[in-house]
Amino acid sequence: MTREGMAVPNTTLCEKLVSDDNLTKAAKKVRSNDGAPGIDGIPAEDALVYLLENQERIVSEIITRKYKPSPVRRVEIPKANGKKRLLGIPTVRDRIVQQALVQVLTPVFEPTFSDFSFGYRPNRSAEDAVRLAQLYMSEGYNHVVDLDLSKYFDTVDHDILMGLVDKDMEDKDIRRLIFVFLKAGVLYRDKLEKTELGVSQGNPLSPLLANVYLTPFDKEMEKRGLRFVRYADDCQLFTKSDYAAARVMKNATKYLEGKLKLKVNVEKTEAREAIGSCFLGFTFITLGSKEDGRGVCRPRGKKIEGLKGRLKEITKRNRGVSIHQVIREINETMLGWLAYYARGSIMNWLTKELLPWLRRRIRQYLWKIWKTAKSRKRHLRKAGVPEWHIKKDLGWSSRSYWKMSIVMGSLVTNKMLVEYFGLRDFENIFRGWHKKRMERDYELDFNDYLCRQYEAEQETRLLIDAYPCINW
């Protein structure tokens, strides 16, 4: 373990883990991810500085197998259904080491993962998972089993997980690090709690371990020839009949609870028709077909209401912040939401319902913060509104803020909101993004068609070559 009085890594994988490049890359990643501090109180933005000051000690503890992680800080995040999601916030030191582990372990485990698993994996996204689900439906798989795992991250069995880790990785130093992170404990309300089960959500290492744990399930589904798609603990299995769906649901539940010791939420898990089902925030409206391609999907109703609720908070007229800050927050919220749901068929709803309502909220906010008639005239002149137009429409100024937002539509036009106030042109942005998604679908479908054609030609050639031998 030592050479000339200095500790050296025992294995190639451990050497990669503690290399300067890997640890520096990990610290930069931790800093870019930001996040709340753990029990050490050190913010993530100080990760690189912390590493420079403590790298030698961290490396020495890892190599000599003396590294001991700190307990994570328990944080409760409210969920949309009223329940709470438990997060574990590690110290900046543990974040750096865990991120460094992820960077060296991803190439080890990635080849073992299923092609139908998309969560927390490089070059894969939730949109890819939704696209595959739509492809299944277009091929005639019109029934779906929607699996819901109850508190998945909190119920992972450590013994089973470590057995799966050992199966694909023999490095004992790395194995020890993974194990001590699993057993680090939780600090909640100044009390230290042991972690006998689960992987803490909020740790950089947890998503990778979560995928390792569910890989046997993926392989079993593949072995049985089932059409399925999984994103982390969200999984859907597709069949061509209600009878098959009920049978698949029963067998999948039996495997998850029996082999992996997980708990399937029987209240939310269901076998149903694929039309109207939901996956990763999308609702599938139509199935599609082989001739017409994938069907239509759109955001779930709860996601739409969540967006409108967020926009209401931003444009609340008594906030007392500048219009520039309001516009900046609207742009950030809308661009992020539209980027995720760009494959959804929502252009009609966007242009006829959401955007007119949002612009009216902005005009109401402007009318409120400008306060007096003198201030309103000054701001409108500055924005380039003609004097005659100002005098004509401000005669209605005794009405309520919401009613005056209609009058403001002729003063503060849609074009002015974009060019003068900086509101992004969401309609054209979404149109461009949606077009790219559809072009990508066509490209993938065409490539798949070419592959099938090539396989068919190869099979035909083999039959032709074999024909003389059969005759002989």
**Residue 459: predicted pLDDT:** 59
Q: Please give the share of the chain, as a percent, with pLDDT higher than 70.
A: 89
Q: For 8-29, how does the pLDDT look when each residue is reduced to its tens digit (9 = 90+)?
A: 767 788 889 999 999 999 999 9
Which structure tokens are listed for 380?
A: 């409108």
**φ, ψ for residue 458 (rounded to 5)?**
-65, -40
Q: In whole angstroms, what is the distance from residue 137 CA to residue 237 CA?
A: 11
Name the maximum alpha-carbon separation found in the chain. 102
b/e 178-208 (16+ beta carbons within 10 angstroms → b): beebbebebbbeeeeeebeebbbbbbbbbbb
Instruction: Kindly report which listed range (192-201, 356-365, 460-469) carries the lowest average pLDDT score.
Output: 460-469
Q: For 123-165, how does the pLDDT look when each residue is reduced to its tens digit (9 = 90+)?
A: 999 999 999 999 999 889 999 999 999 889 999 999 999 999 9
Mean pLDDT of 93-115: 94
**φ, ψ for residue 277 (rounded to 5)?**
-75, 160
Q: In whole angstroms, what is the distance from residue 88 CA to residue 74 CA?
A: 5
Quote the radius of gyration of the chain (alpha carbons, Å).
28
Mean pLDDT of 374-393: 81
Exposed/middle/buried for 430, CB within 10 Å: 0-12, 13-18, 19+?
buried
For 59, 107, 173, the CA distances from 16, given in Å and listed in that order, are 11, 12, 12
Which structure tokens are listed for 317?
A: 């007229």
Q: In whole angstroms, what is the distance from residue 186 CA to residue 81 CA?
A: 25
**Residue 389: predicted pLDDT:** 75
* pLDDT of 470 above 60: no
For 135, 160, 334, the CA distances from 148, given in Å and listed in that order, are 22, 20, 29
Q: For 324-368, how does the pLDDT look when each residue is reduced to its tens digit (9 = 90+)?
A: 999 999 999 999 999 999 999 999 999 999 999 999 999 999 988
Pick the closest to residue 93 from 69, 74, 71, 127 (CA basis).
69
Pick the closest to residue 310 from 330, 340, 325 (CA basis).
330
Which structure tokens are listed for 38?
A: 């753990």
Angle between helices 126-138 and 426-471 (to 10 degrees): 60
Pick the closest to residue 25 from 101, 135, 129, 122 (CA basis).
101
- Would you say 343 and 296 are in contact if contact means Cβ atoms under 8 Å apart? no
**Residue 408: predicted pLDDT:** 81
Element (H, E) at 270: strand 270-273
Report DSSP letters for 413-449, one per residue: -HHHHHHTT----HHHHHHHHHHHHHHHHHHHHHHHH
Going by DSSP bridges, is the β-strand pair 72-78/186-188 parallel, antiparallel, or unpaired? parallel
Q: In whole angstroms, what is the distance from residue 238 CA to residue 271 CA?
A: 9
Pick the closest to residue 362 from 305, 420, 306 (CA basis).
420
Q: In whole angstroms, what is the distance from residue 465 CA to residue 357 CA?
A: 68
* pLDDT of 463 above 60: no
Q: Please give the share of the chain, as a percent, with pLDDT higher than 90.
A: 59
Residue 272's DSSP bridge partners are: 144
**Residue 171: predicted pLDDT:** 85
Pick the closest to residue 178 from 163, 193, 191 (CA basis).
163
* pLDDT of 68 above 50: yes
